[in-house]
Amino acid sequence: MCNIAAGIKILAVAATIASFQTVESTASCNCTRIHPQQHFCTANYVIRGRVVLIQWQLIPDLDTESTTVTETLTNPTSYMTSNPLTQGPEATGKEVDKSTALPSSQDQDQNEFIDAMPAHRHNNQRANRKDKRLLKNRIINQEPWNYEIIYIITIQTVYKNVGGDSLIEGEELELKSPYPGMGFCGVELRAGKSYLLAGGEAGQINMCDWIQEYRHISKLQKRGLKNNYGQLCDMCQIMTCGNPECTSDLPSTTCVYLPPHDDHIQHGIGYHDNDCIARHSRCYAKGRKADKCDWMKSSDMKNCQRKGRRNKN
């Protein structure tokens, strides 16, 4: 799960995502890379869904001081500069007073926030640009991490649901994500696209969950989602390890998952083509008593590994 480096707590985030234990001003999102089979077994829900609407809103019930800003504030930029962790004013629909410039660091944060904003409507590019300008005017004086994203998802397939929201194919699901920049573990999904979403908490989604555009899901992953992953949850365990030496003294029912060494510099969500085990293998039980577990060596996995060796040469 997400563990954010120790330091000054930002209540806006800590109150929203329980698994984010601590935040500092130079926050970072640290997720242990786990195999998709592990994601499936530990997830609260696993669905295929299409993003139909994206909304940004201030995180409710922020812990603010008694000098909470109101809509009548005449110079919100000046206030936000001197009160960086306090919720800013609600939108008034008026143009922003640009007479007081933001400091360069805040300006950079704001630009990152605006750049990370996904389009609101997937069927009209002109409307996308207009919506983005309006939203920028609305939030330009807010601290971006005081916002959360609400994704409205049309459920296409339900693979797993262990409680919480009622998940019915064809109906809509609301998922909340924290701010997708500056290491706050938020995710940026695109309107109109279908995703595989495996979340650890009902009604929530974050960078540490399994999120991948569905068209990039491999054949073996699709079979695992429909059948194999769920059957193996109680039979086999998977342990993520940074080097092969950790394979000693492990139970025979444990498979060791070694993510690619360059995985930490890969950008984006999901599993990349060079992650052969994640994309093309699963940990299965073998032997007469099914008391041993090992990685399935599919033809796609072997081809992937051969391609990886060629690319290194």
Is position 3 within any domain? no
Query: Nearest 5°: phi and psi at 126?
Result: -65, -40
Same domain, 199 and 225: no
Query: Which residues make up each annotated binding site?
Result: 29
Say if residue 45 is in the same domain as residue 116: yes
Same-domain check for residues 207 and 229: no
Q: Is residue 75 domain-shared with residue 91, that is, in the same domain?
A: yes
Which strand (E) or helix (H) includes residue 35?
A: none
Boundary of a domain, candidates 215, 241, 259: 215
**Do 57 and 121 belong together in one domain?**
yes
CATH code, 79 = 2.40.50.120
Whole-structure pTM value: 0.68
pLDDT of residue 288: 80
Q: Are residues 134 and 233 in the same domain?
A: no
Taking a C-beta distance cutoff of 8 angstroms, is the pair 66, 190 a contact?
Answer: no
**Is 28 domain-assigned?**
no
Residues 175, 100 share a domain: yes
Of 156, 153, 154, 158, which Cα lies nearest the Cα of 187? 153
Distance CA(209)–CA(201), nearest Å, equals 9
Are 140 and 181 contained in the same domain?
Answer: yes
Q: Give domain status of residue 2, yes or no.
A: no
Question: Is residue 209 located within the same domain as residue 232?
Answer: no
Residue 27 domain-assigned (yes or no): no
Res. 114 pLDDT band, cuts 50 70 90? low
Q: Please indicate, yes or no, if residue 107 is contained in any of the structural domains.
A: yes
In this structure, are 268 and 206 located in the same domain? no
pLDDT in tens, 144-173: 777 889 999 999 999 999 976 789 999 999
Q: At which of 215, 236, 270 does a domain end?
A: 215
Is there a single domain that holds both residue 230 and residue 209?
no
**Residue 112: what pLDDT?**
52
CA distance linking residue 295 with residue 231, whole number of Å: 15
The whole domain housing 233 covers: 219-312
Q: Does 19 score more than 60 pLDDT?
A: no
Tokens standing for 18?
């329980």
Out of 42-51, 59-68, 96-105, least confident range: 96-105
Residues in the annotated binding site for Zn(2+) = 29
Q: Which of 18-27, 200-209, 236-245 has the lowest mean pLDDT?
A: 18-27
73 and 204 fall within a common domain: yes
Q: What is the tally of structural domains in the chain? A: 2
Better pLDDT: 107 or 193 = 193
CA–CA distance from 151 to each of 47, 64, 195 (Å)?
14, 26, 12
At 246, which CATH number?
3.90.370
Query: For the ranges 40-54, 136-150, 191-205, which has the lowest average pLDDT?
Result: 136-150
Query: How much is the pLDDT for 129?
Result: 63
Last residue of a domain, one of 166, 200, 215: 215
Residue 198 lies in a domain: yes
